[in-house]
Amino acid sequence: MINRYLSLLLAISLGLFMWSCSDPEEDDIDAPATPSNFNYSGALSGDGGVYLLWDENTESDFAGYVIYRSYGTVDFTLIVTVQENFYMDSGLDYDTEYSYKIAAIDNEGNESGFTNTVNVTPINLNPPATPQNLSIKAHNLPTEFQVNVELTWDHNTEADFSHYKLFRSDVSDLFAANAASFLDSITDNFYVDEDVTPGTTYHYKLIAYDQGGTLEAPAAGPVSDIPLEVPTLVSPIDGNSIDTTTPTFHWVNVDGAVKYKIIVRTSSVTGDIWESTMDATTDAEMTITYPSNATVPLGATTLYYWFVSGYSKDTEDINVFTPVTGFRTP
């Protein structure tokens, strides 16, 4: 009886041990179903992109789709894993045939069989959009190492965008964008033209090109600006004494200026006590008088300094400024 009891106890213990060493659930070795109706959309493809689509998988343990691509001598390679039942493959070459196949995977990494192979050659359908918000700023600020024309614009976002070409004329804003006016080819959304001469007006056009290089957007521009020549200060200058505490300031009006700002200060570099902005005129000289009711009246027998900033646009971007000169009140 005791031996039978011991044998039964040993059998139960061995059974429990074997059960504890095994997974109560069988390993998942079943792959998802192969995705069906794999194809591409002709309406959504083109311009260097292929839009792939297929029917959704419905398995409860579905994890995603793996997309493989082949082209030329390149064998099928995994390019992306997605959860959606569509994918846009962009940035492709127009003259190359691409082949695609996909499979579904589950949470255990089981992969279905491959779908049919889809073969498609992206074609060049549309030009890029005309670059937006092309703006221009000219400068003649040699002490700040800025004698240039700066251009900026919004970057094109098309998948098949390749580059921009910038064209320039120093004769007229009515000019053709061709080999004669070509300035540079760029991929950024800014350009600094340093090959400029103060006193010359420059006109620019900008064209965006796609990867095929055959379709181009209508040109942005023209936009124009001029690095102003430095206005000459006429009087009072060179620290000379004057006979009034409300002096009239004179300087030469330069071509292309739309406004000026005059600043009076107590030293050659700091201590601004008065400034005034005025529109440029057609006169050869610009003049403005220190106001008698200024917040800070000029004191007697005092050395003051002044200079002028010039603007080619009605903005706060300084185009040019003059040297600082001084004068002494009576």
Same domain, 57 and 95: yes
Same domain, 221 and 238: no
Same domain, 200 and 266: no
Confidence of residue 11 (pLDDT cuts 50, 70, 90): low
Q: With respect to residue 17, please indicate whether it lies within any of the assigned structural domains.
A: no
| Closest residue by Cα to residue 65 from 114, 124, 126 | 114
Same domain, 141 and 104: no
- Among 208, 225, 242, identify where a domain stops: 225
Q: Is the pLDDT of residue 6 over 50?
A: no
Lowest-confidence region among 11-15, 39-43, 111-115: 11-15
Return d(Cα 31, Cα 41) in angstroms, integer: 27
pLDDT given for residue 26 in this prediction? 56
Name the residue range of residue 107's domain.
39-120
Same domain, 237 and 321: yes
pLDDT given for residue 91 in this prediction? 83
Q: With respect to residue 127, please indicate whether it lies within any of the assigned structural domains.
A: no
15 vs 286 pLDDT, higher one: 286
pLDDT digits (tens, 9 = 90+) for 23-57: 545 566 789 999 999 999 998 988 888 999 999 99
pTM of the model: 0.73
pLDDT given for residue 4 in this prediction? 55
Q: With respect to residue 303, please indicate whether it lies within any of the assigned structural domains.
A: yes
Q: With respect to residue 289, please indicate whether it lies within any of the assigned structural domains.
A: yes
Q: With respect to residue 308, please indicate whether it lies within any of the assigned structural domains.
A: yes
Residue 215: CB partners within 8 Å, gap ≥ 6? 124, 126, 127, 128, 209
- Compute the average pLDDT of residues 81-110: 93
Task: Give the β-pairing of 161-169 and 202-210.
Answer: antiparallel
159 vs 273 pLDDT, higher one: 273
pLDDT given for residue 164 in this prediction? 95
Q: Is the pLDDT of residue 22 over 50?
A: no
Domain count, the chain: 3
Q: With respect to residue 175, please indicate whether it lies within any of the assigned structural domains.
A: yes
Confidence of residue 75 (pLDDT cuts 50, 70, 90): very high
In the chain, the amino acid numbered 16 is L
Cα 154 → chain centroid: 6
pLDDT digits (tens, 9 = 90+) for 282-303: 999 999 999 999 999 999 999 9
- Among 185, 205, 225, identify where a domain stops: 225
pLDDT given for residue 242 in this prediction? 96
Lowest-confidence region among 4-13, 179-188, 265-274: 4-13
Q: Is the pLDDT of residue 2 over 80?
A: no
- CATH number of the domain enclosing 196: 2.60.40.10
List the Cα angle 181/182/186 in 5-degree steps: 150
Could you tell me which residues are beta bridge partners of residue 151? 136, 191
pLDDT given for residue 48 in this prediction? 83
pLDDT given for residue 280 in this prediction? 97
Same domain, 299 and 251: yes
φ and ψ of 20, to 5 deg: -70, -25
Q: With respect to residue 8, please indicate whether it lies within any of the assigned structural domains.
A: no
pLDDT given for residue 188 in this prediction? 95
pLDDT given for residue 27 in this prediction? 65
Same domain, 241 and 322: yes
Q: With respect to residue 196, please indicate whether it lies within any of the assigned structural domains.
A: yes
Confidence of residue 5 (pLDDT cuts 50, 70, 90): low
User: CB of 121 within 8 A of CB of 95?
Assistant: yes
Confidence of residue 217 (pLDDT cuts 50, 70, 90): confident
